[in-house]
Structure 1
Amino acid sequence: MALGSSPETPRLATREEMSAAKVPLAYRDSCAHLLIPLNRCRTDTYFLPWKCEDERHSYEKCQYVEFKKRVAKMNELRDSKGGERSN
């Protein structure tokens, strides 16, 4: 665990780790630290979908939580501007 990080805050992957793991630029976000072991598991098990369920679940949950944070931030910004939704 990185210095100064709390137990509930996961250690994020560094640029060097993402580059070494050949993570595409589009996937280098705050969940990349979970994508690296998922991709390693996928290649080791020839992409059999039932072999890496734990890693996949962790990664997809992280993506969902990040999405919810972005939606909450967007709603907060929208409310501060006093605007309404267009859709």
Structure 2
Amino acid sequence: MAEFKEPEMKVTAQEMAEARLPLRYRDYCAHLLIPLNKCRHRSMYLPWKCEEERHAYEKCEYEDFMRRSKILAKINEDKK
């Protein structure tokens, strides 16, 4: 089976706890979610604010999903 490289965590568990991120959001994109949440709080969640931060976070989540999907497809392929 091909080895897949795990992405690097850019924030520590301590930093995520200090930012009060729920456990389900403590993933490889948390380093983008922390500033996004700060921006959202500053702008009172106005939908037209923080667009750049939101786009960067959503792109990271999509790329992480695609990475995990490829790993799963490879695992299922190897089982056959």
Offset from partner CA, 1:8-65 (integer Å, 9 cap, x none): x776111111011100001000000000000000000000011100000000000000
Aligned partner of 1:48 in structure 2 is 46
**Runs of 5+ in structure 2 lacking a partner?**
1-6
TM-score w.r.t. structure 1 length? 0.81
TM-score w.r.t. structure 2 length? 0.88
What fraction of aligned residue pairs are identical, expressed as a percent? 50
**Distance (Å, rounded) in 2 between the aligned partners of 1:57 and 1:24:** 20
| 2:19 matches 1:21 | yes
Structure ranking higher on relative contact order (CA contacts 8 Å, 6+ apart): 2
**Distance (Å, rounded) in 1 between the aligned partners of 2:63 and 2:77:** 21
Q: Which runs of 4+ in 1 moved over 6 A?
A: none
More helix by share: 2
Say which one has the larger Rg.
1
8 A Cα contact 2:16 2:26, kept in partner: yes
Aligned length: 74
